[in-house]
Amino acid sequence: IEIQSSPEVEPDPQPCAMPDDLTKEEVAEVSNAYGTEEAEARLVTGLVQRIGPELPQDQAVECYETLSRVFGNLLQNPEEAKFRMIKKASLQKKLGNSAEALSLLLIVGFDDQGDLYTLHPGAALPVIRSALAEVQAALLDLGSQKALRYLNLAEGSRPSTP
């Protein structure tokens, strides 16, 4: 009797980490491997993480606070038209001309409409919620005094007074 050993089963390869600098088009290519939600979450994380090093700290804090306000307002009032449109000139000033922050707005569903950014009707709230969480974490990492206020507002509680 000849005993044959069973062939070794190789474990399924783990997907490699997705680079943080992918564009929206590149996300579409890798979403088959990761799933669209995970690909967008990784892209959001990468963009948020690169805002801080891109700007001086005071501008980075203002940028993150602005993004937190934009995303928080959208989540609390998703159908409110005034929160779905943002004037480009005032927004770019508050974002410190951060290319990463503008890319983040496009990824979560804003469209460049000339002098406005408008949130398209099919924008996914889970992506915006993920972006808000990442932005709030970045604010905390920078030691922003306003970060806790934004966290409290996002959770529906009243901001504490100093």
- The CATH code of the domain that includes 50 is 1.20.58.2190
Question: Looking at the 3D structure of the chain, how many domains does it have?
Answer: 1
* Residues 133/147, Cβ–Cβ less than 8 Å: no
Report residue 8 CA to chain centroid gap: 42
* Residues 133/113, Cβ–Cβ less than 8 Å: no
Asked whether residue 33 is domain-assigned, the answer is yes
Asked whether residue 78 is domain-assigned, the answer is yes
Residues 6+ apart with CB under 8 A from 35: none
pLDDT digits (tens, 9 = 90+) for 3-49: 444 444 333 333 333 344 555 565 455 445 455 777 788 889 999 99
pLDDT at position 42? 85
pLDDT at position 18? 39
* Residues 68/39, Cβ–Cβ less than 8 Å: no
Q: Count how many Cα atoms sit within 13 Å of the Cα of residue 90 in the half-sphere of its side chain.
A: 6
Asked whether residue 2 is domain-assigned, the answer is no
Return contacts of 29-36, CB within 8 angstroms, 24+ apart: none
Asked whether residue 103 is domain-assigned, the answer is yes
Can you give the pTM of this predicted structure?
0.69
**Amino acid identity, residue 26?**
E
- Dist CA 52 CA 40 (whole Å): 20
Asked whether residue 12 is domain-assigned, the answer is no
pLDDT digits (tens, 9 = 90+) for 73-122: 999 999 999 999 999 998 988 998 899 999 999 999 999 999 999 998 88
pLDDT digits (tens, 9 = 90+) for 47-68: 999 999 999 988 999 999 999 9
Asked whether residue 6 is domain-assigned, the answer is no
Q: Enter the tokens of residue 133.
A: 């969480």
Asked whether residue 146 is domain-assigned, the answer is yes
Q: Where in the sequence is the domain holding 106, given as residue range(s)? A: 24-152
- Dist CA 138 CA 50 (whole Å): 10
Residue 154 has pLDDT above 80, yes or no: no
Asked whether residue 143 is domain-assigned, the answer is yes
